[in-house]
């Protein structure tokens, strides 16, 4: 049922990544004319979720743009790789959650965007539960 022309996948993702592990993956874009693609951004980032305002920080970022007017053929798989940092670890708390994910954002003509995300888990912190003060 996934009709997005953007395919993003991590290479043999383990159940859990550990700090210092190499994260690798690839993405490709099908059904879009190369000339319509203005730029593609690949990010490995964490963001928070929960009661508070969202915080976000980007660990790895790459922006791919046509070179000298020549469009990049994104139908061919584009690979990315990065060594994961020591922190923050993924966390499923009560009012603070920390999510790690790979996000690919494609900028098309006329301001349109296509976004695809691949979440993953960094570290082995168990789910939090509330304790009485």
Here's the x/- map for other proteins, 19-38, by CB under 8 A: it reads as: xx------------------
How many chain residues bind other proteins (CB under 8 A)?
Answer: 48
User: Could you write out the DSSP letters of every residue in the chain?
Assistant: ----SEEEEESS--SSB-TTPEEEEEEEE-SS-GGGEEEEEEEEEEEEEESSPP-EEEEEEEEE--BTTBPP-TTS-EEEEEE--S-PPPEE-SSEEEEEEEEEEEEEGGG-EEEEEEEE-BS-PPPP-----
93 near other proteins, rule: CB under 8 A: yes
Contacting range for other proteins; rule: CB under 8 A; set: 23-31, 41-49, 66-74, 75-83:
41-49
119 near other proteins, rule: CB under 8 A: no
Distance CA 118, CA 125 (A): 20
Binding-site member from 45, 72, 108, 118 for other proteins (CB under 8 A): 45
13 near other proteins, rule: CB under 8 A: no
Q: Which residues bind other proteins (CB under 8 A)?
A: 14, 16, 18-20, 41, 43, 45, 48-58, 61, 63, 85-89, 91, 93-96, 98, 103, 105, 107, 110-111, 113, 123-126, 128-133
């Amino acid at each position: 049922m996934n009709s997005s022309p953007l395919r993003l996948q991590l290479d043999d993702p383990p159940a859990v990544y550990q700090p210092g592990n190499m994260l690798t993956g690839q993405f490709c874009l099908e059904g879009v004319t190369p000339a319509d693609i203005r730029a593609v951004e690949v990010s490995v980032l964490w963001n928070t979720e929960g009661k508070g305002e969202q915080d976000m920080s980007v660990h790895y970022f790459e922006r791919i743009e046509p070179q000298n007017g020549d469009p990049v053929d994104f139908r061919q798989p584009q690979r990315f790789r990065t060594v994961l940092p020591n922190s923050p670890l993924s966390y499923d708390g009560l009012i603070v959650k920390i999510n790690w994910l790979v996000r690919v954002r494609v900028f098309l003509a006329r301001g349109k965007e296509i976004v695809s995300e691949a979440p993953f888990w960094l570290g082995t912190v168990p789910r939090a539960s509330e304790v009485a003060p």
